[in-house]
Amino acid sequence: MQKELLKLFEGDSSQFITVSLTGETDERGKKKADYLTVHEPVTEQLWADHIKGDVLIGIRPENGDKLRWSCIDIDPANYKAYSQKKYVDIIRDFDLPLVPVKSKSGGLHLFIFFSDWADKIKIKDKLEQINKEYFLSKEVFPLNKAVGMPYHKADAAIEYAFDDQNTPLMLGGFIELAKKKTVDPKDFLKLKITEYNAETDWREYPPCVQKVIQEGWTGERNNMLFNICVTEMKKAEGSLTVKQLKDIAWERQKVIYGNHPKGPLKRSESDMVAQSVHTKGYEYFCPPKHGFVASICDKETCKLRKLGIGVQAPDIKNDFKNIIYTQDTKGIIWECDFRDTHISFRAEDIKDQKTFRTCLAKHRIYWLTLPRPKKGPDPFELLMKHIVESAIENTKLKYEDTLEEEQYQTLKDFFETTIEQDDFNKLKDGYTVLDSKSNMIYFKRATLDRYLKRTSNKAFASVVEALRLLKCDKHDYHEGEKNVWYVQMPEFVNHQAIRQQAQTNTQNIISEMDDQYHTKFRTPKA
């Protein structure tokens, strides 16, 4: 079994996390856990220990910019009351290549497995589309974090899969189902997403209202019904009569509160909420002032929706696809496909529409200015916020790797341009000195500091950071100089070039006892 699981969940093999349930739950009933990252490879033995129950592991799906599996993490509004059957039914009815697995926290992981390595950015983009249409989850992997693995202590697992009939599966059944649903990445990216018309204007509801209509609600009844009534008034553009709104509220709450511990509201209570919305105007109850909805609130998404709390970002946002970002010591650059043209821009390019228009003109794209309303947020700002926050890091050029490369190149240039061999008198003159016998190099802190400032180097925040990277030690006194730093010659420095230079310098020195001295400097007699 462990061999099969190792193959199915092939991802970041260089590390994993261990998970320990604390025995506590949050206000939604979600089980709390502690996490520890272990920088060791994922092996068959590790999986065997997981199945046995000795350790509970989590694995990141991505390996560089590729992956062979991914996941949509369902985070219910109320863990105690929700049922996974609704999600199982959606997967079956729309023939989605997903395997639903109960998570350690009590939610649901919708796993997808691929027959070959796939581009993680394209996969995530497709999963986001599927999630937006069917599941409304806040977490779609990859997210640069690990996913808890199923079938810990397999004989009595709390993380187990369901088949299309909502029947729990043992480990063998899960493996069989996962293999059956494994899909070719190319076929998955071509998958046609059938509209999930739960009801009219479904995609324009505030996320909180959309969530409770889909899952039900076990929290505050009156306040949540208030938000639902606001949505109905916005949907009807304020044209509903009091009676019409009362009737809608009554029918809505009977369904939504069907599994509520207190049951649905009385007709008089439901009518009172509807009357309040109709009389006093309609603005949503939102966090932080109204905390009852905090667990399912997605304010930024809400701002982008027609029936949400803010001005809807223009539909043009859907024209920006495959958004990635690359960070280096000079800042961040974003890249994406805009209407089949690959574009890139930096922070200074998006400060306003005028500068963004100039940026796009370089790509032979003419930007039509988005009109700004008299009230509410700027649609252009909402658009840029969406693009920036939707971006996924370009793992081929990770910031950490780029920064590290620049740091080592800086130190390499420093040593190779300032080293003198065996001449400690030059320490005070701003040189570093190589002791050819011990292969140690010596330098003053001020020498390195001046170099970093002179070159306007941004690879290091300070000279202290450079000293820490080199793992230097310090002599209080050395060869008559105070506070001298020293370190073994780093491997990234070109030793041979330095020694060849030193040898050349030595060879050019001519002794008075040498015949060459007299040949070169003695003036022949006339």
| pLDDT per position as a tens digit, 220-248 | 999 999 999 999 988 887 888 999 999 99
332 φ, ψ to 5°? -120, 140
Tell me the average pLDDT across 130-148: 87
- The b-or-e profile of 292-330 (16+ CB within 10 A means b, else e) is bbebbbbeebbbbbebbbebbbbeebeebebbbbbbbee
pLDDT at 229: 93
pLDDT at 354: 92
343 φ, ψ to 5°? -125, 160
User: pLDDT tens, 473-507?
Assistant: 988 888 888 889 999 888 788 765 555 554 454 44
Whether the predicted pLDDT of 181 surpasses 50 = yes
Q: How far is CA 263 from the centre of its chain?
A: 40
pLDDT at 4: 94
Is the Cβ–Cβ distance between 8 and 178 less than 8 Å?
Answer: yes
Is the Cβ–Cβ distance between 148 and 107 less than 8 Å?
Answer: no
* Bond prior to 142 in cis (omega within 30° of 0): yes
Whether the predicted pLDDT of 13 surpasses 70 = yes
Here the tokens at position 270 are: 């439901």
Is the Cβ–Cβ distance between 305 and 371 less than 8 Å?
Answer: no
Q: 214 or 440: whose pLDDT is higher?
A: 440
Q: How far is CA 385 from the centre of its chain?
A: 16
pLDDT at 376: 61
Residues forming CATH 3.90.920 domain(s) in the chain: 2-189
Q: Would you tell me how many other CB atoms lie within 10 Å of the CB of residue 480?
A: 10
What is the Cα–Cα distance from 35 to 281, expressed in whole angstroms?
46
pLDDT at 478: 86
User: pLDDT tens, 120-129?
Assistant: 999 999 999 8
DSSP 8-state assignment for residue 316: G
Closest CA to 432 of 398, 399, 472: 472
What is the DSSP annotation of 253-274?
HHHHTTT-TT-SPPHHHHHHHH
Tell me the average pLDDT across 373-400: 75
Say if pTM beats, i.e. exceeds, 0.75. Answer: no
Residue 149 to residues 112, 159, 232, Cα–Cα distance (Å): 13, 8, 41
DSSP 8-state assignment for residue 111: E
Is the Cβ–Cβ distance between 210 and 186 less than 8 Å?
Answer: no
Tell me the average pLDDT across 181-192: 94
Q: Would you tell me how many other CB atoms lie within 10 Å of the CB of residue 449?
A: 16
DSSP 8-state assignment for residue 413: H
CA atoms within 13 A on the CB side of 67: 23
Here the tokens at position 328 are: 């280096």
- What is the band of 520 on the pLDDT scale with cuts at 50, 70, 90? very low
What is the Cα–Cα distance from 136 to 229, expressed in whole angstroms?
21
- Side chain identity at 476, as an amino acid letter? D
What is the fold, at CATH topology level, of the domain defined by 2-189? DNA primase, PRIM domain (3.90.920)
User: pLDDT tens, 98-110?
Assistant: 999 998 888 899 9
Torsion of CA 292, 293, 295, 301, to 10 degrees: -160
Whether the predicted pLDDT of 510 surpasses 70 = no
Here the tokens at position 274 are: 């509807």
- What is the band of 153 on the pLDDT scale with cuts at 50, 70, 90? very high
pLDDT at 195: 78
pLDDT at 397: 62
161 φ, ψ to 5°? -90, 165
What is the Cα–Cα distance from 239 to 244, expressed in whole angstroms?
10
What is the Cα–Cα distance from 126 to 190, expressed in whole angstroms?
9
Whether the predicted pLDDT of 521 surpasses 80 = no
Closest CA to 203 of 217, 192, 213: 213
Q: 498 or 83: whose pLDDT is higher?
A: 83
pLDDT at 332: 85
What is the Cα–Cα distance from 374 to 524, expressed in whole angstroms?
96
pLDDT at 515: 46
Mean pLDDT (the chain, rounded): 84
Three-class secondary structure of residue 479 per DSSP: coil
Three-class secondary structure of residue 49 per DSSP: helix
Here the tokens at position 496 are: 């041979």
Q: Which residues pair with 259 in a beta bridge?
A: none
Q: Is the dihedral of CA 452, 454, 457, 461 positive or negative?
A: positive
The residue written with tokens 């740091």 in the block is 407
What is the Cα–Cα distance from 138 to 417, expressed in whole angstroms?
52
- The b-or-e profile of 14-29 (16+ CB within 10 A means b, else e) is eebbbbeeeeeeeebb
- In degrees, rounded to 5, the angle at the alpha carbon of residue 288 between the alpha carbons of residues 287 and 292 is 55
The residue written with tokens 């701003």 in the block is 430
Q: How far is CA 194 from the centre of its chain?
A: 28
Closest CA to 307 of 200, 231, 207: 231
User: pLDDT tens, 189-205?
Assistant: 999 888 776 676 777 88
Is the Cβ–Cβ distance between 416 and 493 less than 8 Å?
Answer: yes
DSSP 8-state assignment for residue 334: E
User: pLDDT tens, 293-348?
Assistant: 888 888 878 877 878 886 554 567 878 888 988 876 667 889 899 888 999 898 89
- The b-or-e profile of 138-154 (16+ CB within 10 A means b, else e) is eebbbbeebbbbbbbeb
- What is the band of 401 on the pLDDT scale with cuts at 50, 70, 90? low
